[in-house]
Structure 1
Amino acid sequence: MKSMIVLSLVLNILVLVPVTYGMATNAAWADQAYGETSPARGILLALYLAILAASCVLLFRPVTAAVAALLAVQIVYKVMTPFTVGSLENPVVLSNLGIAAFHCVTLWLIIAGSGD
């Protein structure tokens, strides 16, 4: 379970560092994937930065309940993206679903191990 927690947090960091950098610097690929700079994209960037910061803190100071809460929120919003975007073809939607699947395994292991 602990190794999966680390892997989920590292996955968040490895994905979110380039994504937040690209969004913050208006990289062409970020504009293509997330749309032009707008208040909505700024709100999404803030959400991503919060998840990135929480993942960094929890990587060095793991609190299992906090990790479970973070992953649960991520799973819910990521699984909702095909419905809110209206497509399964968007690369952000596809990556969200893959990451959600990975985090589901970690969350399941946390829940299964909580009876110990």
Structure 2
Amino acid sequence: MKSLIYISLAVNIVVLAPILVLMMMNSPAVDSAWGSFTESRGILMSIYFAIFAISVFLLFFPVPAFVFALLLVQVIYKVTTPLTVGTIGNPVVISNLLIATFFIITLISIYPAVKEQIVN
């Protein structure tokens, strides 16, 4: 369970760090993946930063219930991305679905510990 927690948090950090840097630089690569800058993309950058910051925090304080909540929210948004974007062929959508698949495995492994925390 703990290794999956650390790997999932590391995935968040490794994926989001370069994306955040490229977003701050207004990189053409970001424009190609997420479209040109709009207020909506600025909001998305804030959400990505929050996920990044919480992931870094949880690397040092890996409370299963907190990790479960973070990953569950991410799975929901990643799995619904094809519906909101309107295609499954977008590279961001594809990577979201692949990451969500791994996060689901982590959620399943964390669930017994989280259930125990809730019951007690």
TM-score by length of 1: 0.96
State the 1:23 CA deviation: 1.1
Alignment of 1:10-89 (within 5 A): 10-89=10-89
1:26-85 deviations in whole A, cap 9, x for unaligned? Answer: 111101001111100000000000000000000011111000000000000000100000
Structure 2: any 5+ residue segments left out of the alignment? none
Q: Runs in 1 of length 4+ with deviation above 4 angstroms? A: 113-116
Q: Secondary structure at the match of 2:88?
A: coil
Q: Secondary structure at the match of 2:89?
A: coil
Aligned positions, number: 116
State the 1:115 CA deviation: 5.6
Cα distance in 1 between the residues matched to 2:63 and 2:101: 21
State the AA in 2 paired with 1:111.
Answer: Y
State the AA in 2 paired with 1:13.
Answer: I
Query: How large is the RMSD of aligned CA atoms in angstroms?
Result: 1.1
Cα distance in 2 between the residues matched to 1:74 and 1:38: 22
Q: Secondary structure at the match of 2:96?
A: helix
Q: Secondary structure at the match of 1:94?
A: helix
Match status 1:2 vs 2:31: no
State the 1:24 CA deviation: 1.3
1:9-28 deviations in whole A, cap 9, x for unaligned? Answer: 00000000001111111111
Structure 1: any 5+ residue segments left out of the alignment? none
State the 1:112 CA deviation: 3.5
